[in-house]
Amino acid sequence: MTVDLANPAAPGAVHPAYGPPLAASAAPAERFDVALLDLDGVVYRGEGAVPHAAEAIGAAGKDGMRAAYVTNNALRTPEAVADRLVRFGVPARAEDVITSAQAAAHVLRERLPAGAAVLVLGGEGLRAAVTAEGLRPVTSADDEPSAVVQGFDPELTYARLAEGALAVRAGARWVASNADLTVPTERGIAPGNGSLVAMIRAATGAEPLVAGKPEPAMHAESVRRSRAQRPIIVGDRLDTDIEAGTRSGTPTLLVLTGVTDGSELLAAGPASRPTLLAADLRGLLRPHPAADREPDGTAHCGAWTCQVDAEGTLRWHQSLAPGGSRRDGGPPDDGLDALRAACQAAWAASDAGRPARRLADDRPSSCADLTV
C-alpha cells in the first residue's frame, strides 16, 4: 500500500515499507508544513544535544517547516522543555511542545467530571497537565481518587507506586502517559515509564489506558496543538514514533541518532517501517532517494541492488553508471542507500514468509555492523 502524496496524512492510510519515496526532487522541509519531532534521541540525549539537530531545525524553519516537539517523557512542563531546547540552541516556545502528560490529562478530562481527584505518579509536568485540565492532583489512595495517572519520574519511590497500586485495586481508572520500556541517556539506555508501569500491572493485574506514542490520543493531541495540515513524524524509535505514523497514516522519518540501529530496522515488522531514513535531522533538508522493489523481492536504491537468495542470504550488488555516477539520477548517496535497499529486500522476504537468515560476508562497509 502506498502513501497518498496529495494527502499524505489521510486517516487510515498505511504505508508499511520504506517508500515509495515522497519525492526525490524535494526535501521533507519543502513538502511538509510541520515536523512532529521526538526529543530524546532525536534533538538531545540526556544532557547533551544531538549533533546537527539545532542547525537542521533552524534551516528547516527557513524553508517554511514549523517544528513541534512531541515527547513521551511526561516529567517536565512544556515551559521547562522549551527552556531546555533553547539552551541547546534549538528554536522553541512552550506552545511548540506537546508532551504525553498533556495527552494523558486530556484523556482523563474527557472521562472525569471537573475537579475530580487524580492520583499523580509522576513529576511536575504531569501534575501541571492534570491541573490545566481542571482536575485535582492528589498523592494518596486515601483521597479516593477517581483515576491514577502515571508518567516517567526518576525519583518515583516504592511508597508512591504502592499508593497507585492501592488506588487501582480500589477501582480507580488507570492512565499511563506512555509505555516506553527504556529511555536513552548520555550514559546509555535506562528503564523508562513502561518498566514502572509493569510493576503496578504485576501487582494489580490491571491494564492501563496508554495515552502516549504510538497511541492515537498522542497523535491527535500533537496535530491539534500544532495545527498541522501536512505533518511528518520524526523519531528514533520504531515502536513509538514510527508505529504512530503507521497507525495514523502519517509519513515518518527515522533518524539513527537514538535507540534504533540498522539491525533493528532490518528486522522491523510492517507496522514499524519508516517512510524515510536519515542519519540525523539533516535528513529534513535533503531529497530522499527512491527505494523500491520488484515483484520477486529484489530491491534497489541508488547504486545498490539487494535480494535474499534461495538459501536465505541477503546479498548486495553495486551497479554504477559510467564515471561512477548513480544510474537513477537521484540525490548523492548519504551513506544509507545500501541499508535502504537491504531493508526493502529483507522486508519483502519476511512478508513472503522466507526471512533472511544470514548476511553475505561481501557487503558494503556501511552495512558491516548489521546482524540478523
- List residues bridging with 255 in a β-sheet: 278
Q: Under DSSP, is residue 367 helix (H, G, I), strand (E, B) or coil?
A: helix
CA-nearest of 226, 311, 279 to 9 is: 226
In 218-296, which ranges are E strands?
231-235, 252-255, 276-278, 291-293
CA distance 160 to 226: 34
**Active-site residue among 4, 33, 40, 236?**
40
Handedness of CA 92, 222, 44, 192 (dihedral sign): positive
The answer to whether residue 38 is catalytic is yes
The answer to whether residue 40 is catalytic is yes
Q: Which long-range contacts (CB under 8 A, 24 or more apart) does 304-309 make?
A: 304/337, 304/338, 304/340, 304/341, 304/342, 304/364, 305/341, 306/338, 306/341, 306/342, 306/344, 306/345, 306/346, 307/345, 308/345, 308/346, 308/348, 308/349, 308/354, 308/355, 308/356
Cα 265 to chain centroid distance, Å, stands at 13
**Active-site residue among 4, 33, 38, 143?**
38
CA distance 348 to 299: 9
Give catalytic residue positions: 38, 40
